[in-house]
Amino acid sequence: MFTKLDEVEKKYEELQKQLHDPHLPSHPQKFQQVAKEESDLRPILETYRLYRQKQKELLENKHLIEKGDEEIRHLAKEEALVLENEISVLSEKLKVLLLPQDPNDEKNIYLEIRAGTGGEEAALFVSNLFRMYQRFAERQKWVVEIASANATGIGGFKEMIALISGEKVYSFLKYESGVHRVQRVPRTEAQGRIHTSAVTVAVLPEAEEVDVDIQDKDLRIDVFRSGGHGGQSVNTTDSAVRITHIPSGLVVICQDEKSQHKNKAKAMKILRTRLYDAKLTAQREAEAKDRKDQIGSGDRSEKIRTYNFPQSRVTDHRIGLTLHQLDSVLDGNLDLVIIPLQSYFQAEALKKQ
């Protein structure tokens, strides 16, 4: 670990020198790259330097314990216990900071929520989950832009797709992919019986053009008249766009905007992101094919969480977490679940180091 840390310190000092080069700001792209690298390494280096400072203080304390008078030795022993605890905490923090970073952690995401089993009740829960993520995004000062919505008649949605932009969105929400199960009494249930429905959530890192190469010859683009809600111009002009990626068979439809051009641009972004996700999934499967345990792999067929309304309970099945704070979680206080998830997966990654 300390060899790695010494290499980080050397790299950081090199980046500092580059940032002080008066010619660097005249090359904006290079400047941004160097500044980003320096910013990423700074937390590691600050923690490492604090660790070394505490080690130095502990060494001085041990010298006092050996050479000082009785009162000084007593005080030094107490201080040494505090320092040893601080050093232990810093050591664990350094191990986490040195874990390989997910290259997608800095990316924005496309959040896709779809109704599964449960009919109208599942569609209503799509609306509940979207509001939960929207409220969480507001707390993080992220921006949420609805890319596509397929509404049902009583306030639910068969599908909701939204772009969430901000700082490290993917790093917070990447563990949300999977099947979310809801247990509650539906509005239409006359006898008060609890029904179980399911909704699938997909968290896809937003793909840049450099991430996926899409050839024009591989696309079939159709325009048609929008249906559903959206105002007069949505229903009376051929503004809706359907893009089919012929090699993969992926189809994306966007009809929320009044402009055909805007719908096409949104559809291309979603298509690019889905192709990028398929590429990442193939890579993960190749890396994990010899592993028996694939918990947390991001498989969207995996039941990850249950929301039980009668007991006001939220259970994350991957880490055995149960909270009786359903209203708070659905109101966007997702830190209650996300922080334990991050800690769990960091611990799992440390075991493999």
Is the model's pLDDT at 97 over the cut of 80? no
Is the model's pLDDT at 297 over the cut of 50? no
At 25, the pLDDT band (50, 70, 90 cuts) reads: confident
Q: What is the CATH number of domain 109-210+296-351?
A: 3.30.70.1660
- pLDDT tens, residue by residue, 114-145: 999 888 899 999 999 999 999 999 999 999 99
Is the model's pLDDT at 280 over the cut of 90? no
Is the model's pLDDT at 238 over the cut of 80? no
Exposed e or buried b per residue across 139-173, where buried means at least 16 C-beta atoms within 10 angstroms of its C-beta? ebebebeebbbbbbeeebbebbbbbbeeeebbbbb
> pTM (2 decimals)?
0.67
Region 282-295: mean pLDDT is 54
**pLDDT at residue 306, as a whole number:** 95
Q: Does domain 216-286 have CATH number 3.10.450.50?
A: no
Assign domain 2-97 to its CATH architecture.
Up-down Bundle (1.20)
Domain ranges of the chain: 2-97, 109-210+296-351, 216-286
**pLDDT at residue 288, as a whole number:** 54
98-107, 160-169, 317-326 — which is least confidently predicted?
Answer: 98-107
Q: Which of 55-69, 128-142, 155-169 has the highest mean pLDDT?
A: 128-142
SS (H, E, C) the chain: CHHHHHHHHHHHHHHHHHHCCCCHHHCHHHHHHHHHHHHHHHHHHHHHHHHHHHHHHHHHHHHHHHHCCHHHHHHHHHHHHHHHHHHHHHHHHHHHHCCCCCCCCCCCEEEEEEECCCHHHHHHHHHHHHHHHHHHHHHCCCEEEEEEEEECCCCCEEEEEEEEECCCHHHHHHHHCEEEEEEECCCCCCCCCCEEEEEEEEEEECCCCCCCCCCHHHEEEEEECCCCCCCHHHHHCCCEEEEEECCCCEEEEECCCCCHHHHHHHHHHHHHHHHHHHHHHHHHHHHHCCCCCCCCCCCCCCEEEEEECCCCEEEECCCCEEECCHHHHHCCCCHHHHHHHHHHHHHHHHHCC
